[in-house]
Amino acid sequence: MASATVSVADICTAAKRASRALAMCDTAVKDAALHAIARELRAGVQEILEANEQDMRAGSEAGLQDALLDRLRLDESRVQAIAEGVEKVASLPDPVGEVLDGGRLANGLDLRRVRVPLGVVAVVYEARPNVTIDAAALCLKSGNAIVLRGSSTAAHSNAVLAGIASAAAVGGGLPEGCVGILAGGGREELAELSTQRDSVDLVIPRGGEGLKEALQAVATVPVIYAASGNCHVYVDESADLDDALAILMNAKTQRPGVCNAAETLLIHARTAPRFLSLALQALGAAGVLVRADERTLALAAPGAQAAGVQIEPAGEEDFAREFLAPIIAVGIVDSVQDAIDHVNRHGSGHSEAIITRDTASARAFQLGVDAACVYVNASTRFTDGGEFGMGAEIGNSTQKLHARGPIGLRELCTFKYLVEGDGHVRA
């Protein structure tokens, strides 16, 4: 593991050296190193949990919200799941060297376009120690060296996890420096990391809008933003209300502090008289605060108060917020097109869902909504590299270039053209 006394530039330079060797590593070597990481995670579970307990105590004393503490918390089952995720990544096809297309050109040259690693990927993340291992596994399998920069909130957990990953990877045959970790210092460290143009090929921040804005102000290295998730569930006129309620509650309450949790409920005006009371009762029973637009308040307020539901007027800003908490904005719309317009105006491009039995409405929502993941009759909580068969993810990109949605193995590659001739010269 990199020492805190080593400079950012030195860690990045070591990662660059390692990346050149990693790009030529056989799949078998990379997979063996990943299996070694998984074994050492299981063997080191007690050390990991002791470090995590230090972070949890500090987080509680600092007044972190319950949802954030849930993201920070590790236990034996979560460490086991992290190790299983590494093994899943090892079992996936190696993207490096995959031929994307090619053939013999009219001039007789043989051309292939093949996947190759990006080089050095720096991952900046907040209060989620599992990202330390998920990101390392994905980068190593795709032939990239990684520089990790977690938050001070998870400093003890990240240090132990990165140390295990680094030692096991090098012991398994990968080059020294392939996994580096920064100390989680202040904005100066972040600025220095994001300007290492000679050694870092990509920065992926996984955090809130504050982190995104901080990087946008200083980064000279290319960035893929795995940023906020202001996700919507829209209940259409023809929705099955039992399905709608189950999907809403899963999307909002299973883990409110994650980026694929629903933050806004939209209801078709003709469905609202039947569905709104069901939704409010369920949300209220789950302890969710409802911030409602005027139409929702007019329809629901008397019954909601009688049922003890926490409901208050919503401001326009509430429909653009990622709450990451048991709070949801609720609005009523007159058509699927109104729902699409609302999502495109307020959404963050992450994950959006429509509940409907009407094919035309479903198709209109799929085509009209501008987001990385669009669901029909399914929860937004499925936006996840593991759920998508990627083994794990570094984050969910809300951009359109170079990657969109879960960032997995293929998204951590670029490509090059390999051209072979037989004494060819251009006329």
For residue 68, what pLDDT is reported?
A: 83
Q: Half-sphere exposure of residue 57, counting CA atoms within 13 Å on the CB side?
A: 7
Phi and psi for 244 in degrees, rounded to 5? -60, -45
- pLDDT score for 305: 60
Q: How far apart are the first and last CA of the chain?
A: 54
How would you class 17 by CB atoms within 10 Å of its CB: exposed for 0-12, middle for 13-18, buried for 19 or more?
middle
Q: Where in the chain do CATH 3.40.605.10 domains reside?
A: 8-226+394-420
Residue ranges, CATH 3.40.309.10, the chain: 231-382
Strands 110-117, 413-420: parallel, antiparallel or unpaired by DSSP?
antiparallel
SS3 331: strand
Distances (CA, A) of 255 to 24, 154, 248, 382, 398: 40, 19, 12, 12, 20
DSSP 347-403: --SSEEEEE-S-HHHHHHHHHH--SSEEEESS-GGG-STTTTTSS--S-EE-SSSS-
Q: In this structure, which CATH number among 3.30.365.10, 3.40.50.2300, 3.40.309.10, 3.30.1490.190 belongs to the domain 231-382?
A: 3.40.309.10
Mean pLDDT of 78-84: 96
Give the tens place of pLDDT for each residue, 181-210. 997 667 889 999 999 999 999 999 987 778
pLDDT digits (tens, 9 = 90+) for 365-424: 999 999 999 999 999 999 998 899 887 889 899 989 899 999 999 999 999 999 999 999
Residue 378 and residue 372: Cα distance in Å, rounded?
15
Given a cut of 80, whether residue 6 has pLDDT beyond it is yes
pTM: 0.88
Of 3, 382, 379, 395, the C-alpha closest to 182 is: 3
- Give the separation between CA 344 and CA 290, rounded to whole angstroms: 22
Q: Residues 313-359: pLDDT tens digits?
A: 999 999 999 998 999 999 999 999 999 999 999 999 999 999 999 99
Q: Kindly report the CATH number that applies to the domain delimited by 8-226+394-420.
A: 3.40.605.10
